[in-house]
Amino acid sequence: MLKKKLIPHNWIIILIWNILLISCDSPDTKKERYLLKGNEKLKENDTKSAIDFYGEALKIDPDFRDALFNRGLVMYQLNRLENAISDFSSILRTNPVDTLALFQRGVTYMDNGEFYKALEDSKTLIRNNPESWRSHFLEGLVLEQIKNYQESLTSFEKALELFPDNPEVLVNQATIFYYLKDFEKAEVGLKKAEKLDPTEANIFNLRSMIAFDRGELDIALTMINKAIALNSNQAYFYNNRGLYLIFENELEKGLEDINYSLKQNPKNLFAFRNKGIYHYFKNEKELALRYLTEVFEKDPDMELVKDYLEKTNNL
């Protein structure tokens, strides 16, 4: 015969009290508790559970701003850009001038290739919050993407007037100087940014690009490896390293990096270009033409594309 376990009387009181507390929770208390649980899971890098808890909070209150915003950020990090846009848009339906939601939606639109929607969000930010550096920064980022470099520089200059010691803006301004082939001005901005934040990975990524353009492959690889050591989650860094490795004749290592980058960001035309260059070096004419032609049709001014299309046609 099994011995029955007895629960002490005071334990029963505690259990009943806890049940009563839970049952008396208001909807606001419950949704806040789910939000906190989601935030804790996010700290643990458990994004799936974080999304689930934010979802539970939103079942209670579909307009719960903090849950929508945090879930949107997680979706953005996971490259689920349509989901992120949906969450930020839900916030903006309730509050059209929520500056953080507008900024994040603009960035997400931009990364999703919806440049003119991103530009519209930046214009809305500037109209409603002209004294915020972020408003002008977002505008500069989008103008950079549509290759309006001079106007992009103007936007970054306005952002720096409002926040002069901002390494993020300085790096992006230096990137425009890089595109304009003014490497000296780019280096000046990067030096200032590094003094402000020596852990900013994009500084070393841009230095790698400048070194590659100068034909300094060893320096390019050193710089891009430093960038990856500082931020191992950036798909563009792996793509750049893949290109440098190809030019170092480490073709398979280069392809591995490029494929990894594409897995993280399947819309990156630079990665398709680099795959075309890889196939050129492998003497695989048909595959090289397939990738390079696709990129050329979408962005005929991209560096290296036209050169390698001609070289591939001559194989």
Match 């929520």 to its residue by tokens.
98
CA–CA separation, 50 vs 72, rounded Å? 11
299 with 264: CB under 8 angstroms? Answer: no
R_g over Cα of the chain: 25
pLDDT value of position 116: 95
pLDDT confidence tier of residue 280, bands split at 50, 70 and 90: very high
Q: Among 187, 169, 167, 165, which residue's Cα sits nearest to residue 178?
A: 187
Lowest-pLDDT range, 31-35, 210-214, 275-279? 31-35
Domains in the chain and their CATH numbers? 34-95 (1.25.40.10)
- Using the predicted structure, report yes or no on whether residue 155 has a pLDDT greater than 80: yes
Quick one: tokens of 291? 């990738």
Helix extents (H) in 214-301 = 217-230, 235-247, 251-264, 269-281, 285-298
227 with 208: CB under 8 angstroms? Answer: yes
pLDDT tens column, 198-250: 999 999 999 999 999 999 999 999 999 999 999 998 999 999 999 999 999 99
- Using the predicted structure, report yes or no on whether residue 147 has a pLDDT greater than 60: yes
Average pLDDT over the chain reads 91
Spatial neighbors of 228 by CB under 8 A, at least 6 apart, are 201, 234, 237, 238, 241
Quick one: tokens of 223? 């710089």
- Stretch 50-73: mean pLDDT: 93
